[in-house]
Amino acid sequence: MTTVSGAPPSATGRLLDELAGLLLPVVMPLVRRLPAMILVLAGLITLMGVLTLVGAHRDDAQIQAHSAVATAEVLPGSDFSRTLITFTTATGETVSPERGVFYPRGLQPGQIVRVEYDSTKPDRVRVLGRNASVGSLPIGIMLLVTWAVALPVGFSLRGRQLQRMEAARLALAERVLAQAASASDSAASDSGPRPAEESATDVEQVVQPVPAQAVAKAVSAESASTGPASTDAA
């Protein structure tokens, strides 16, 4: 008779099993904390947006307190994070702020634009006529979208986790009740009716055989009582 055994696991399968064994203890706690992590991330984004607005208003206040106006040229090499410009201050100093110009939406390299800067710190410069209100709307929309996504997703994941926890708790309670019922049944069967052999022995002890002498005496007495009647009849 030929016995068919399963194929031995491949090296790739063993590697995946070992990798899963290493990652699961790290990944599962993160999965359980995912709802809280989503809300924390949304909170951090909100904090960054608020700090950005506060910093913009502070810079506007400084520029407004020491206002000076100049003509600037937009330089090549600008990117999403900053728009580089160069301008000459009232004192003849040529300035090219490392952080770029504030509120640069729509500016193109080579464009000439009027700027307003802080005369005590020329690196603090903004496009003339623009202020923090220009950035308030985009940041507000970003925060609104962030929370519109984070709240439903976070609470939905948390709700699913609570449902799984409740299901696991109910399953554990059912197992405990089943074990208790099984133990009770075992105890009842141990103290229940005795086996058939023991019952048959008890019956034999109660129903004892009648002795032969007692039977003979009973027959003699019956014969004596019926003897005269039989003679008279004859």
Please, which pLDDT band fits residue 219 given cuts at 50, 70 and 90? very low
Predicted pLDDT at 215: 46
| Among 45-49, 171-175, 182-186, 191-195, the least confident range | 191-195
Task: Tell me the pLDDT band of 222, cut-offs 50, 70 and 90.
Answer: low
Q: Average pLDDT of 15-25?
A: 69
**Strand, coil or helix: 190:** helix
pTM recorded for the entire structure:
0.57
How does residue 58 score in pLDDT terms, banded at 50, 70 and 90? very high
Distance CA 44, CA 171 (A): 38
What percent of the chain has a predicted confidence (pLDDT) above 70? 71
Phi, psi of 210, rounded to the nearest 5 degrees = -80, 135
Of 162 and 116, the one with more pLDDT: 116
More confident residue, 231 or 225: 225
- Tokens 């909100």 belong to 46
**DSSP structure class, residue 92:** S
Average pLDDT rounded to a whole number, residues 39-59: 93
Averaged pLDDT, 23-49: 83
| pLDDT confidence band for 170 (50 / 70 / 90) | confident
pLDDT for 191 equals: 60
pLDDT for the residue 199 = 46
Write down the architecture of domain 66-131 according to CATH. Beta Barrel (2.40)
Q: What is the DSSP letter of 157?
A: H
The mean pLDDT value for 7-29 works out to 67
3-class DSSP state of 68:
strand
Distance of CA 9 to CAs 4, 15, 21, 22, 175, Å? 15, 10, 16, 19, 34
Band (pLDDT 50/70/90 cuts) for residue 180 is: confident
CA distance to 146, 221, 223, 225, 226, per residue, from 232 (Å)? 129, 19, 15, 13, 11
For residue 228, the model assigns a pLDDT of 46
Distances (CA, A) of 151 to 39, 59, 163: 7, 33, 18
Q: Which residues pair with 112 in a beta bridge?
A: 73
For all residues of the chain together, what is the average pLDDT? Answer: 78
What is the C-alpha separation between 91 and 113, in angstroms, rounded? 19
**Cα(120)–Cα(100) distance, rounded to whole angstroms?**
17
Structure-token pair, residue 209: 């055989």
Q: Does residue 2 or residue 55 have the better pLDDT?
A: 55
- Residue 175: per-residue pLDDT: 85
Q: Is the pLDDT of residue 35 over 60?
A: yes
Which pLDDT score is estimated for 213? 57
